[in-house]
Chain A
Amino acid sequence: MDNLGQLGFSEAQADLMEVAKRFCREQSPMQKVRALMEDDLGHDPKVWDEMAALGWLSIAIPEAYEGAGLGVAEIVPIMEQMGRYFLAGPFFSTSLAAQALLVGGTEAQKQTYLPKIAGGSVATLALSEQSGNWDLTAITARASHTDQGLALSGEKFFVRDAVAANWIIASVLLDDKPALVLIAKDDLPKDALRREIIIDETKRSFALTLDGITVPKSALLDMAQAEVTLAHIHLCANLLSTAEMCGGTQNVIDYTLDYLRTRKQFGRTIGSYQALKHPSVDAYTGYERARSLLYSAAHSFNEQGTGEIATRMAKAQADKAYAYAADRSIQFHGGFGFTYECDAQLYRRSAIWHASQYGDAAYHRKKLADLILPS
């Protein structure tokens, strides 16, 4: 097990990082983040349109479907900056839905939906279930054949951005085998969606009741690809989350350092105390290590075997680093750190959220053990 992933960074990645940095900083100042947290939709549709105009939704979509023909690796620097500035919106959901179609859709579905997504139509995934299981193949929701098509039943959770989405791709069992179906949001019965109360208030997530929904047969993705698609989504989601987490970690460290450089106690700037200094360094080195793993994972993502190892390593380290940096941020702000007003809580909540979705550090380490430590 010599190759655990190499580092690489393309020119396209560098350019996108620059543009995204400026865009996210300008479009998502903290005041606006706070305002959108209170907003029902939770993001600014004008900003979303601008992102579409910048071509960000088309990045990883092949040219044949009116995309830019780059890869997931090129989405990573954008997600990183979004995580850094808490830029809200359905970018993560839509990018993943596009990947699901790309890997698991029928040719007709790809031709119909991918160009629309490339142009800025929102889509999302409905994969999680009541069990809280990270294994995406642990499905109990069902689809059954009827004269009208496929009748769906069961419940899905953590459906991100469902209200903003035009389409939802849900995992179900069809003939006892995993399958993915595409549901037009407009076809949902009233009250099919319930907004969930989630720890990260900058995001929107919904529970979805499938009971009573029937989709045409043409809404079924290629069943032969369903498991491959779920595995791909699992890794892709972890890669993109890791990017967001690295961005968040960077910013929570900077946010905390600002305070350590200005707050005074006992006639000294508190940042001069080693009890605060040294853990800040540990947070920083943890962040840099996560970021190195992130860009190695992005670079190796399409390599069979290595991509999975690199991605899991990156998520595991990012989880550890983000949790630590944000946890210390609360503590290092003293009483202010305990307030809703202090931004430390936003980062800590975000880290908890990311750990809860698609697997936390311990989960990925367990998977890695089987991958890199054969008995």
Chain B
Amino acid sequence: MKHDGVLMGKVNPQELDEFAKEADAWFAENVNPDPGFMLPLTFMEVGTDQQFEFLRDWQNKVYEAGYLGAAWPSEYGGGGLDQAFQDVATDAMRRHHAPIMLNAIGLNWTGPLLMDIGTEAHCKKHIKGILSAEDIWCQGFSEPDNGSDLGNAQLRAVRDGDEYVLNGSKIWTTQGNYAKYMILLARTNPDAPNKYAGLSFFLAPMKIPGVETRPIRKLTGEYGFTQTFFTDARIPADGLMGKEGEGWQVAMKTLEYERGVHGGQAGGYVLLPLDAFAVIDLARKLQRDGAPVMDDPVMRDALVEFMIEAQSLKLCQARGAFAPLNEERPFGLALSGKLMWTEFARRINEFAITLQGTKGGYYVGDPNAVDHGLWTRGYLNAFSATIGGGTSEIQHNIIAEHVLGLPKR
């Protein structure tokens, strides 16, 4: 599928319309609603090889069809189209309940980062593999002793000729066992004047001697992340992003992509979109005291509260397009999105369990579990987003300091 003749920023509405129709038809035909096993709701829940292979193939297929990276430059492997094209493709995915894109860390933060501050060579080398899911990426920021206090990361990187030698450990590495590359925050100078200035940022290969990943079991009983050990692991020095000592700034930029503060992501979604309306259907089909839960006034009120919240979040997202409505705190909504959405997702899943009466006690695998236990699993997994990517408490700090202008200390 080729779509030439569209210059970035200049969209031919007819062509866009046609593209949207094709995308719609393509996803209608190609989404497999039941692969015969449970698919992950988010990129942080890829726990079996079966899930991994399926999602890798799926991403590759979507990319090959032209519906992923449609707005990334064609010289690196993207579609070279305007963002509007990718947006309609992503919409089609949503409409047809397509599975998630697997290579989240590549698609959503490494890719945009490389095109933002990387070299031509970085982009040529990595972008295509990110889009095709051939090269899975992971993120090595958190350490056992340094999580929220990321600036205190201690994994050592020592320059030796054309290489850096790594020693230390990262933890909670999503897809660490599958990844070919890691974006890595490491300490190059332990004697720097402050903890931030001693950090550097690397694109590090994972399948090399001295790198070992050990899967960690999640609260759901499934797998999805690893502890990653580095023992005299040697990585090429040309993987350094920015200069030595600039790692903190690069990491912050990465986190902004991660939290969706900036655009430029490849498209698709890496967390299944939350369908707040599904809770209504649930309330309609479940019973309480012999009547649909939906008829219980207390539950109805709670449902309405959730619907108001869902609608308000959707509108806050749409507000980005209306500059005059964001004049006084231009980054306020962008910086608040992660906190608002992830906390909402956690609470609505939690609420869905309470609708189920005794059946709220079942879990995934039991034949009697409501909706296969998805709500309970969803609730437990929702913490991945309220903890990962900077906890909700840290998000509060960030908004307080960067949007509301309150002092750090």
Contacts and interface: CB of A to CB of B under 8 A. Distances in A.
A296 interface: yes
B403 to A, nearest CB: 7
3 closest residue pairs by CB, A with B: A292-B315, A289-B312, A271-B406
Interface in A46-102: none
Interface stretch (B1-9, B12-20, B300-308, B377-385): B300-308
B312 A292 contact: yes
A272 B312 contact: no
Size category of the B interface is: 35 or more
Contacts of A271: 400, 406-407
B315 A7 contact: yes
B340 A285 contact: yes
Interface in B330-348: 332-333, 336, 339-340
B276 to A, nearest CB: 10
A368 B305 CA distance: 10
A369 B403 contact: no
A18 B324 CA distance: 9
Given A9-B324, A317-B308, A373-B303, A288 B405 contact: no
Interface in B381-409: 393, 396-397, 399-400, 403-409
A274 interface: yes
B350 interface: no
A375 B295 contact: yes
B316 interface: yes
B311 A277 contact: no
Given A272-B409, A281-B396, A368 B304 contact: yes
B301 A365 contact: yes
A290 interface: yes
Interface of B is mostly: helix
A291 interface: yes
B304 A261 contact: no
A375 B292 contact: yes
Interface in A1-42: 1, 4-7, 9, 13-14, 17-18
Report which residue of B284, B309, B311, B321 has the largest number of chain A beta carbons within 10 angstroms of its beta carbon. B311
A277 B336 contact: no
Interface of A: 1, 4-7, 9, 13-14, 17-18, 250, 253, 257, 260-261, 268-269, 271-272, 274, 277-278, 280-282, 284-285, 288-293, 295-296, 313, 316-317, 362, 365-366, 368-369, 372-373, 375
Nearest to A289: B312
Given A289-B313, A373-B303, A375-B295, A274 B324 contact: no
12 contacts: A7-B321, A278-B396, A280-B400, A280-B406, A281-B404, A289-B340, A313-B307, A368-B307, A369-B297, A369-B304, A372-B304, A375-B295
B311 A280 contact: no
Contacts, number: 127
B301 A362 contact: yes
B319 interface: yes
A14 B339 contact: no
Nearest to B343: A285
B325 interface: yes
Contacts of B252: none
Contacts of A290: 312
B128 to A, nearest CB: 37
A364 to B, nearest CB: 9
A93 B328 CA distance: 29
A9 B312 contact: no
B407 A261 contact: yes
Interface string B333-370: 10010011000000000000000000000000000000
A4 B307 contact: yes
A277 B307 contact: no
A6 B315 CA distance: 7
A7 B319 contact: yes
Contact of A9 (B297, B308, B325, B399): B325
A17 B325 CA distance: 9
Nearest to B328: A250
Contacts of A317: 308, 312
A368 B308 contact: yes
A368 B300 CA distance: 10
Contacts of A280: 400, 404, 406
Nearest to B284: A375
Given A272-B407, A284-B403, A369-B301, 10 more contacts: A261-B406, A271-B400, A272-B406, A274-B396, A278-B396, A281-B404, A295-B315, A316-B308, A317-B308, A373-B280
B339 A285 contact: yes
Contacts of B409: 268, 272
B318 interface: yes
Contacts of A277: 396-397, 400, 404, 406
Given A260-B406, A278-B393, A293-B311, A7 B322 contact: yes
B404 A372 contact: no
Interface of B: 277, 280, 283-284, 292, 294-295, 297, 300-301, 303-305, 307-309, 311-313, 315-316, 318-319, 321-322, 324-325, 328, 332-333, 336, 339-340, 393, 396-397, 399-400, 403-409
A284 B333 CA distance: 10
B306 to A, nearest CB: 11
Given A277-B396, A292-B312, A295-B325, A285 B336 contact: yes
A25 to B, nearest CB: 12
B319 A257 contact: no
A288 B400 contact: no
B405 A257 contact: yes
A284 B332 contact: yes
A258 to B, nearest CB: 10
Contacts of B400: 271, 277-278, 280-281
Contacts of A366: 301
A269 B407 contact: yes
Nearest to B325: A9
B400 to A, nearest CB: 4
Contacts of B396: 274, 277-278, 281-282
Contacts of A260: 406
B294 A373 contact: yes
B32 to A, nearest CB: 25
A257 B325 contact: no
Contacts of B324: 9, 13-14, 17-18
B325 A291 contact: yes
B291 to A, nearest CB: 9
A284 B399 CA distance: 9
A13 B294 CA distance: 39
B393 A372 contact: no
Given A7-B318, A274-B396, A293-B311, A257 B332 contact: no
Contact of A288 (B304, B311, B316, B397): B316
A292 B337 CA distance: 13
Contacts of A296: 311, 315
A373 B300 contact: yes
Nearest to B315: A292
Contacts of B284: 375
